[in-house]
Amino acid sequence: MMKELMVRAIYCEMLGYGVSFSYIHAIKLAQQGNVLEKRVGYLAVSLFLNESHELLLLLVNTVLKDLQSTNLIEVCMALTVVSQMFPKDMIPAILPLVEEKLNHPKEIIRRKAVLALYKFYLIAPNQVQHIHNKFRKALCDKDPGVMSASLHIYLQLIQVNPEGYKDLASSFVTILKQVVGGKLPMDFNYHSVPAPWLQIHLLRILSLLGKNDQR
């Protein structure tokens, strides 16, 4: 019943009506429901609250618990919320768990972990300085989704310090050649063009690395 009511609350919020009374129930649904109810609860929380909302602190323990779950769906939901919105002050509490997920056997978990770390870098870059080597591992991941997710982080890092990543120029060129050569799955193609957004990302990175450097 609560799940259906929460869906209606989401619809009302999207129409512009105030449904602040339901925010706490969205958090409770994410905390206490079964997998489907948790999914609706997490969705509602991500739509209702922003990173500075005081109620978000009530969700921290739930995210911690779900990140340690053996249920892949629960881990995915927790990583999705973390990558969309999470209190800056609480990042140290979950950072080790998100780091662990970079070595997860399932590629979707590794991809979501990279996106969560990208979010952390945007809001608190100093807190992820120590795991730059793990970004390199993600760049070399056998799954193209994980690799492409890591390019978001590298574009930000290289904008700040291009000299520190020139040793990766050959890796980016190799990836670009593989993309242009159609080595990626067909899912990445857009109107028969091989992964155009990925190509643009790589070209931006290479333009930053090659600026004022003839070699």
pLDDT for the residue numbered 34 = 85
190 within a domain of the structure (yes/no): no
Residues 107, 45, 82, 175: what is their CA dihedral angle, to the nearest 10 degrees? Answer: 50
Cβ partners under 8 Å of residue 133, min gap 6: none
21 within a domain of the structure (yes/no): yes
CB 149 within 8 A of CB 118: yes
pLDDT for the residue numbered 15 = 93
pTM across the whole model? 0.84
3-state SS string for 33-57? CCHHHHHHHHHHHHHHCCCCCHHHH
- What CA–CA distance (Å, rounded) separates 95 from 9? 32
13 within a domain of the structure (yes/no): yes
pLDDT for the residue numbered 86 = 81
5 within a domain of the structure (yes/no): yes
Q: Indicate the SS3 state at residue 214.
A: coil
3-state SS string for 55-81? HHHHHHHHHHHHHCCCCHHHHHHHHHH
96 within a domain of the structure (yes/no): no
Residue ranges making up the domain that contains 44: 1-49
Q: Indicate the SS3 state at residue 106.
A: coil
Each residue's pLDDT expressed in tens, for the chain with a length of 215 residues: 888 999 999 999 999 998 999 999 999 998 887 888 889 998 998 889 888 888 888 888 888 999 998 889 999 999 998 888 888 888 888 888 998 998 899 999 999 999 998 888 888 888 877 777 788 888 888 888 899 889 988 998 888 888 888 888 888 999 999 888 888 888 888 888 888 998 999 999 999 988 877 77
**Count of the separate structural domains present in the chain:** 1
75 within a domain of the structure (yes/no): no
175 within a domain of the structure (yes/no): no
19 within a domain of the structure (yes/no): yes
pLDDT for the residue numbered 76 = 92
- What CA–CA distance (Å, rounded) separates 96 from 99? 5
